[in-house]
Amino acid sequence: TVVFNCAIVIVCAYCGHVYDSTAISCRKQDGGQSDIVECLKLASSMPPITQPCQILCQDDCQLSSWSKFSPCASDCAGVRTRKRVLVGKSKKRDMCKNTQIYPLSETQYCPCDKYNAQPVGNWSDCILPEGRVEGILGMKVQGDIKECGQGYRYQAMACYDQNDRLVETSRCNSHGYIEEACIIPCPSDCKLSEWSNWSRCTKSCGSGVKVRSKWLREKPYNGGRPCPKLDHVNQ
User: What pLDDT is stored for residue 140 in this prediction?
Assistant: 45
* Burial (CB count <10 Å: 0-12, 13-18, 19+), residue 113: exposed
Helix H segments across the chain?
36-42
Q: Is the fold of 62-111 the same as that of 189-235? A: yes
User: What pLDDT is stored for residue 195 in this prediction?
Assistant: 85
DSSP secondary structure, 87-112, as one string: -GGGGG-GGGG-TTTS-SEEEEEPP-
* Burial (CB count <10 Å: 0-12, 13-18, 19+), residue 176: middle
User: What pLDDT is stored for residue 59 in this prediction?
Assistant: 65
User: What pLDDT is stored for residue 105 in this prediction?
Assistant: 92
Strand partners, 182: 151
Contact between 115 and 158 under an 8 Å Cβ cutoff? The reply is no
d(CA 21, CA 57): 20
Q: What is the domain partition of the chain in residue ranges? A: 1-60, 62-111, 113-186, 189-235
d(CA 40, CA 127): 17
Superfamily of domain 189-235: Thrombospondin type-1 (TSP1) repeat (2.20.100.10)
Contact between 169 and 175 under an 8 Å Cβ cutoff? The reply is yes
User: What pLDDT is stored for residue 82 in this prediction?
Assistant: 92
pLDDT tens, N- to C-terminus, the chain (235 residues): 344 443 334 444 445 555 555 666 777 777 777 776 666 666 655 666 666 666 666 667 888 999 998 888 766 667 888 999 999 888 888 888 888 888 999 888 777 777 888 888 889 989 887 644 444 444 444 445 567 888 889 999 888 887 888 888 887 877 788 888 888 888 888 888 888 888 888 888 888 888 888 888 888 888 888 888 766 554 4
Topology (CATH level 3) of domain 62-111: TSP-1 type 1 repeat (2.20.100)
92 Cβ contact partners less than 8 Å away, ≥ 6 residues apart: none
- Neighbouring CB atoms inside 10 A of 26's CB total 20
d(CA 16, CA 86): 18
